[in-house]
Structure 1
């Protein structure tokens, strides 16, 4: 499940172009940037990041099962960009990971 990232249809329809394109992913307080391929397929009703580019982001950020990613769509930028905040549960509470 960690290796395929999909988005709810309503979110994609409202905020993301109805076509396949690249999205830039950023993490707070990090210099690295990840360019992931967003695929949109209207007939199959699937929208999400491609396997290859998403696995690179997962690997580079040490994401594990149980981690929660919050995608913040950035406004006022030329290309589609999302800030990704990562949380994990610790002692019954969610903690933001750097």
Structure 2
């Protein structure tokens, strides 16, 4: 596995309601505080193997992005927010 954080703000465990991954990562570069948000297409549950998603919920990326951005702005106050996304090939 790569040496980078796995990020996804919109993948939840159904049974607990908790996120399965960190929603964001923070980096400091040249006096800038940079937040990177991870988002995954909610089509994953439709195009992937359903046996892997029995306890997984893919929430709407745009809705989760709004929530995460609000939280970041209130708590971390980043200078820049970047979305690292995988929105699929079906769009």
* Normalised-by-shorter TM-score class: under 0.3
| TM-score of the pair, normalised by structure 1 | 0.25
**Bigger relative contact order (CA 8 A; separation at least 6):** 2
Higher helix share: 2
